[in-house]
Amino acid sequence: MSVHGANRLGGNSLLETIVFGRRAGKAIVAELAGASGDKPAASKADNAIGRVRDKIDKLLAAEGSEDAYAIRTDMTTTMKDHFGVFRDGPTMQAGVDKLMALKERIKHIGLRTGDSPFNLDMMRTIELEGMLDVALTVAVGALQRTESRGSHSRTDYKDRDDKAWLKHTLAYYEPTGPRLDSKPVTLGMFEPKERTY
């Protein structure tokens, strides 16, 4: 399933969150349905809860030298400076390198405060790790795609290239950075055409 093409810019984000968030939620409920006792689904849920608790305990105990807010600012600046609408390979590669350096820095984060039951610092720090993984996925995917298509406009590859790039990019989480793959696009009744307006 794909919603790409529904809207070239901001609309896809909201649409994907609503559509795929709902699908993910339903899949989780189905996976955990009736999960109790010794059932495998209950074990998976307990393991996931344990991993989150371990992450929280580790953050609370950390005396890291890095500040989550500074890393978030650097990530935002990197994405704006290196992955705007108009982009090129060397600029994007420099951006990927900066994001990878941030991924290393995030390992040394310390919380500003650890004493509140509603610890916004904790939530924003945990959120940052996921945001950085998403930013890195966007960046690596954009660098790999050597064409211009829609709002992805490369100054070093100005033309759309259906022969090489009429395919979906798939990203898989790896601790060291995203692993990319692809799958073909299933075409409907309309032939894909380059936008000329």
Per-residue model confidence as pLDDT tens digits over 32-85: 776 555 566 677 778 888 998 898 888 888 888 999 999 999 999 999 999 998
SS3 11: helix
- Rounded to whole angstroms, the Cα distance separating 45 from 175 reads 21
Q: What pLDDT was estimated at residue 28? A: 81
Q: What pLDDT was estimated at residue 194? A: 74
| 15 lies in some domain | no
| 7 lies in some domain | no
Half-sphere exposure of 136 (CA within 13 A, CB side): 24
| 129 lies in some domain | yes
- Residue 49 corresponds to which tokens in the numbers above? 């809860």
By residue count, the chain amounts to 197
Residue 135, burial from CB neighbour count under 10 angstroms (0-12, 13-18, 19+)? buried
Residue 45, burial from CB neighbour count under 10 angstroms (0-12, 13-18, 19+)? middle
| 38 lies in some domain | no
Q: What pLDDT was estimated at residue 140? A: 96
Q: What pLDDT was estimated at residue 5? A: 52
- If you average pLDDT over residues 22-37, what whole number do you get? 75
pLDDT of residue 24 exceeding 90, the answer is no
| 141 lies in some domain | yes
- If you average pLDDT over residues 160-164, what whole number do you get? 92
Q: What pLDDT was estimated at residue 182? A: 95
| 9 lies in some domain | no
Bridge partner list, 197: none
Task: Say which DSSP state 175 is in.
Answer: T
Q: Is the pTM of this model over 0.85?
A: no
Query: Across all residues in the chain, what is the average pLDDT?
Result: 85
| 21 lies in some domain | no
- Higher pLDDT among residues 30 and 87, named by residue: 87
Bridge partner list, 180: 171
- Residue 54 corresponds to which tokens in the numbers above? 């371990």
For residues 125 and 158, is the Cβ–Cβ distance under 8 A? no
Lowest mean per-residue pLDDT among 110-124, 144-158, 169-183: 110-124
For residues 94 and 88, is the Cβ–Cβ distance under 8 A? no
CATH of the domain at 93: 1.20.58.100
Which residue range is the domain that position 188 belongs to?
64-197
Total domains in the fold of the chain:
1
* One-letter amino acid of 100: M
